Amino acid sequence: MRKSIRFVKIFAALLFVSACSLPRGAALQSEVLAQSGAKNPTFQVVAVTRANMPGLSGWPMTGQDYDPHWLGTSTGANSSVIESGDLLDVTIWDSQENSLITNPQEKVTRLIGVEVDPDGAIFLPYVNEVFVRGMTPPSARAHVQSQLVTIVPSVQVQLSLKPGLANSVDLVSGVARPNTYPLPSRNYKILSLLATGGGIAPTLRNPVVKLMRGDATYQISARDLYASGSRNTTLRARDTVLVEEDQRSFTALGASGTENMIYFPKEKITALEAMSLMGGIQDTRADPKGVMVLREYSARQLRMDKTGPGRQQVIFTFDLTSADGLFAARKFQIHPQDTVLATESPLTKTQTVFSLIGSVFGLTRQAQAFSVN
C-alpha cells in the first residue's frame, strides 16, 4: 500500500511541475509585455483610454499604399479639347463652279479620320498644316474655315471629333464592360464612367474604387463614393479607374473565436468591431484585460513630442472589463496590417493545474482502494 501511495505522490509532483509548462493557444499579457520594463525597450506600450483617445486619433495612418485623400468633384467645360492622336472628320462645302476643293456634282468634300499629329496639327489640301491641338471642336472648325477662306472665299466647314487614347480614360476592372472610353467633355464624372461600364459587379466584397492619375493613386469605398455628390470627381484624360474588392486586412490571433486574416468589411472598423469579427474572446480562455493591438510605424512617422509614436513597434492595450476601456475600444481605429491579439487568462493555467491535481487525487483514492482489496 505504501509503495502505491508513494508512486502516486511522485506522479502527482511530476504532473504539477509539467503543468507549469503546459502548451497554450496564446501568450499571457505579462509575457508579451515583459520587455517593456527594460532600460531600453524595443517597443512602446500604450494603454488606450477615453482620456488619450483624442490624441491617438491624430497618430499617422499605417498599412496602406495609396493617398487617403480622395479627389472632390469640380466643374469643367461641357466640351472636349482636341489632343494629339484624336481623329477629326472634316466636311467642306463650296457652292462655286470649278471649285478647287469640292466635287462639282456634290459641292462637298469629306475628309474622314484625319489624325492630329504629335505636333498638334492636321494636314489639309492647299493649306498644308493647321494646328488644332488644345482647341474645342467649335473653335477648331472656325480656325480651319478661316484658313480655307483665303483660297476659297465661299467655303463652309463642319468638324467632328473622335477622341483618341490621349483623350480617353481606362476603366479596367470590377464592372460589366471594362474598356477604354472617350471623354465626351471636360466635365465627365467618375460615376458616369462607372454607369457607362455597366455598374459595379454586385458580387464584389466591400468594393473600392481606385483612381490612378500620373504617379498618384487615390482610393475610396464604393459606398462612400455613392453617398455624396461632393466625391463624384471629374476625370482627366489618361486617368485609369479600377474597381476591386477591399484588400485591407488585419490578423486575428490568440484566445478568440478565430485565428485568421480578416478583411475589412467597410472603410473603417474599430477595435471593438474587430473583436466581433474575430468571433469575440473565448470565455474560458481569454483575458478581457489583456486585449492588444500590435502595429508597425515607419521611421519617418515617429514623433518625440508625444504627438505620435515614439517607437516603430507599438502595442496598444485594452481593458474590456471597464466602461472606460469599452468606450475607448469603440473609438480606436484598426489599421490595415494590424495584429489583434487576445491574450490567455492566467486563471486558465491555474484551473488546468487544479484539474490535473484533482485527477491525481482520484488516482490516489483508486490506488488506496486497490491496496486494501
C-alpha–C-alpha distance, residues 316 and 53, integer Å? 11
Radius of gyration of the chain (CA): 36
Are 364 and 8 spatial neighbours (Cβ–Cβ below 8 Å)? Answer: yes
pLDDT at position 2: 54
pLDDT digits (tens, 9 = 90+) for 27-45: 788 888 888 777 888 999 9
At the fourth CATH level, the homologous superfamily of domain 166-245 is Outer membrane lipoprotein wza domain like (3.10.560.10)
Give residue 159's Cα distance to chain centre. 44
Decide if 87-162 and 166-245 have a common fold: no
Taking CA 94 as the corner, what is the angle to CA 93 and CA 99, rounded to the nearest 5 degrees?
130
Confidence label for 66 from pLDDT (cuts 50, 70 and 90): low
Binning pLDDT at 50, 70 and 90, where does residue 358 land? very low
Q: Where are the domains of the chain?
A: 2-21+351-372, 29-62+249-345, 87-162, 166-245
pLDDT in tens, 132-181: 999 999 999 999 999 998 888 888 999 999 999 889 999 999 999 999 99
pLDDT of 349 over the 70 cut: no
Q: Could you tell me which CATH class the domain 87-162 is placed in?
A: alpha beta
Name the more confident of 8 and 171. 171
Give the C-alpha separation, 39 to 56, whole Å.
25
Dump pLDDT digits (tens) for 276-329.
999 988 877 889 999 999 999 999 999 988 889 999 999 999 999 999 999 999
Query: pLDDT: is 103 or 197 the higher one?
Result: 197
Residue 116, Cβ density class (10 Å: 0-12 exposed, 13-18 middle, ≥19 buried): buried
Would the pTM count as exceeding 0.75? no
CA atoms of 185 and 162, how far apart (whole Å): 12
CATH homologous superfamily, domain 29-62+249-345: Outer membrane lipoprotein wza domain like (3.10.560.10)
- Say if CB 336 and CB 250 are below 8 A apart: yes
